[in-house]
Amino acid sequence: MPFSKIYKLHLSPQRNYVKVLKNLLGFVPGNLSLYRMAFRHRSVAITLKNGTRSSNERLEFLGDAVLGSVVAEVLFKMYPYKGEGFLTEMRSKIVNRSNLNQLAKKLGFGELIEYDSRTVSYPSKQSSLLGDAFEALVGAVYMDKGYNFTREFLINRIIKPHVDIHTLELTETNFKSKLIEWCQRHGKDISFDLIENVEEENSKLFTIQANVDGENVATGRDYNKKNAEKLAAEKACEILGI
């Protein structure tokens, strides 16, 4: 083992935190500040010298993209004869907030997340902390170790031992239908509105807003319009406790 790792594990002032991360992740982290940031909710964000507030939101954005890429590759190879619609649906089942919350809880992330319990007081909001931290952690690993390491970490440490893809294939997770049915039962209007369409070189990024009684509840973004609607509906279901 390189001396730098020995130092971090046994001699550094932060050795206890390093040991916790090693037990959790299976490797000795390099840049510890990235991992601390990954578990820092915006309710306890640190104000930096330039006035910006440091929380896990930027890493969450990055980790979401990396996780989606790795899951897409796994599914592409696992189902060589399935179409784009099936693959998109399966990816959504694996990376949806509910599944990520459960994964993060199973892996023990809850003990490391920093948040203000006075601000994040509702159970639904507290559970979403786990999924957010999971994606932020993926972003931290990517920034610390690079894509190939992160890919191997996700496949061998997370997906293979903890994600039953074949069971998920048989599981129906239609958040849009759930949201519509809930709104109908409670006499509320629901709409999915395209609020932004960013043109890129060969594709379009869709941003869909789920509105309940005219108020924005959640937003979903994807290069597939239907999937963006599903993501917005999923987040709305979580926020509304459906």
- What is the CATH number for 209? 3.30.160.20
Q: Is pLDDT at 217 greater than 70 in this prediction?
A: yes
Residues 199, 150, single domain; the answer is no
Q: Which of 60, 64, 89, 144 is catalytic?
A: 64
Catalytic status, residue 64? yes
pLDDT at 138: 97
pLDDT in tens, 177-193: 888 888 888 888 888 88
Residues 159, 44, single domain; the answer is yes
Catalytic status, residue 89? no
Confidence class for position 6, pLDDT limits 50, 70, 90: low
pLDDT in tens, 147-158: 999 999 999 999
In a domain, 50, yes or no: yes
Residues 160, 182, single domain; the answer is no
Residues 226, 133, single domain; the answer is no
Expressed as residue numbers, the domain containing 184 is: 175-240
pLDDT at 120: 61
Q: Is pLDDT at 118 greater than 80 in this prediction?
A: no
User: Considering 169, 185, 216, which residue would you say is the last residue of a domain?
Assistant: 169
User: Considering 118, 141, 169, which residue would you say is the last residue of a domain?
Assistant: 169
Q: Which of 60, 89, 132, 135 is catalytic?
A: 135
| Three-state SS annotation for 86-140 | HHHHHHHHHHCHHHHHHHHHHHCHHHCCECCCCCCCCHHHHHHHHHHHHHHHHHH
72: exposed, middle or buried (Cβ count in 10 Å: 0-12, 13-18, 19+):
middle
User: Considering 150, 169, 188, which residue would you say is the last residue of a domain?
Assistant: 169
